């Protein structure tokens, strides 16, 4: 009986040891797998969605997995990274990110630049800014990180004059010193800018928005934004993740010929976006 008891005890001990070993290996394997996953929040706007799919393929070639979600709200994209739920996001340029940081006391930072989405003032009624009538209605983006762009373009064209010494990226309608044509600025949500153009005399549009409505950034704008204000879009991470291994993987995967081609494919071969590297 004693010998039998010892055998049973030995068997139980061996079984427990194996279970602990297997469990430990499983945990180590799971941790290793998690280290190779990059959680990524992208906007569901066409250009971001299309190029994110290609980015996922390029990331996989480097031995990682891009676990991405497509979101419709810019603030939600940023909050997902601020909270740590997602490692990076893809939907904004630096002025927008800085405005978000300031209003939300956040610590987002650019990991690297991705593309330039040029902007211009478009019209379906007039061929030149000089043709705009008195009290013309001009739509601009209502977001603080973008609203300055339409105003500065009109100042560059001589339609309005800004106060001396103002920083272009901080300009608002309150900084207009002279408005001889009594231009009326109508602030519109980014998603409604193209539709609002139907009722306005002219309006601010990104190249990526304009092309969806049959307008070409290369030939249709009444004026195009000057190059130094063409803020490139970025991949955004928390400040402490700038330069991290996953950030480097994302950058290496993004800065490829496949992504350059994805820019073209997203717009039927048209040169709408310009690579920012």
Domain coordinates in residue numbering, the chain:
36-116+233-275, 119-229
**According to CATH, what is the number of the domain 119-229?**
3.40.190.10
What the block records as the tokens of 135 is 């009290």
Give 36-116+233-275's CATH code, choosing from 3.40.50.10090, 3.40.980.10, 3.30.70.20, 3.40.190.10: 3.40.190.10
Transcribe 54-66 into DSSP letters.
HHHHHHHHTT-EE
- Per residue in 143-202, pLDDT (tens digit) is 877 889 999 999 999 999 999 999 998 899 999 999 999 999 999 998 899 999 999 999
Transcribe 79-123 into DSSP letters.
HHHHTTSSSEEEEEEHHHHHHHHHHHT--EEEEEE-EE--EEEE-
The dihedrals phi and psi of 177, each to the nearest 5 degrees, come to -90, -35
Question: What is the value of pTM for the model shown?
Answer: 0.79
Rounded to a whole number, what is the distance in angstroms from the first to the last CA of the chain?
78
Instruction: In whole angstroms, give the CA distance from residue 81 to residue 74.
Output: 11
CB atoms within 10 A of CB 250: 27
Instruction: In whole angstroms, give the CA distance from residue 212 to residue 207.
Output: 9
- Per residue in 55-70, pLDDT (tens digit) is 999 999 999 999 999 9
Residue 88 has pLDDT above 90, yes or no: yes
Over residues 264-272, mean pLDDT: 92
The dihedrals phi and psi of 136, each to the nearest 5 degrees, come to -60, 140
Q: Do domains 36-116+233-275 and 119-229 have the same CATH topology?
A: yes
Taking the C-alpha atoms of 154, 156, 158 and 161 in order, what is their torsion angle to the nearest 10 degrees? 80
């Amino acid at each position: 009986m004693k010998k039998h008891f010892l055998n049973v005890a030995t068997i139980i001990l061996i079984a427990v040891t194996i279970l602990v070993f297997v469990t430990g290996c499983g945990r180590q394997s799971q941790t290793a797998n998690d280290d190779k996953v990059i959680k990524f929040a992208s906007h569901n706007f066409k250009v971001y969605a299309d190029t994110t799919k290609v980015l996922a393929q390029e990331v996989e070639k480097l031995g990682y997995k891009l676990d991405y979600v497509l979101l419709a709200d810019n603030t939600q994209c940023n909050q997902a990274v601020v909270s740590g739920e997602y490692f990076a996001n893809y939907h904004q340029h630096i002025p927008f990110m800085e405005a978000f940081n300031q209003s939300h006391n956040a610590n987002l930072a650019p990991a690297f630049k991705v593309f330039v989405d040029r902007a211009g003032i478009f019209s379906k009624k007039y061929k030149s800014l000089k043709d705009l009538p008195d009290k013309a209605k001009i739509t601009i983006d209502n977001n603080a990180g973008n609203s300055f762009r339409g105003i500065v373009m009109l100042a560059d064209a001589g339609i309005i004059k800004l106060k001396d010494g103002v920083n272009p990226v901080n300009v608002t309608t309150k900084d207009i010193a002279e408005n001889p044509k009594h231009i009326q600025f109508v602030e519109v949500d980014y998603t409604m800018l193209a539709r609002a153009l139907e009722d306005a005399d002219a309006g601010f549009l990104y190249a990526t928005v304009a092309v969806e409505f049959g307008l070409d950034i290369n030939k249709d704008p009444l004026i195009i934004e000057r190059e130094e204000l063409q803020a490139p879009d970025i991949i955004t991470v928390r400040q402490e993740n700038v330069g991290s291994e996953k950030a480097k993987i994302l950058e290496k995967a993004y800065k490829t010929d496949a992504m350059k081609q994805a820019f073209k494919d997203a717009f039927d071969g048209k040169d709408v976006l310009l690579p920012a590297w």
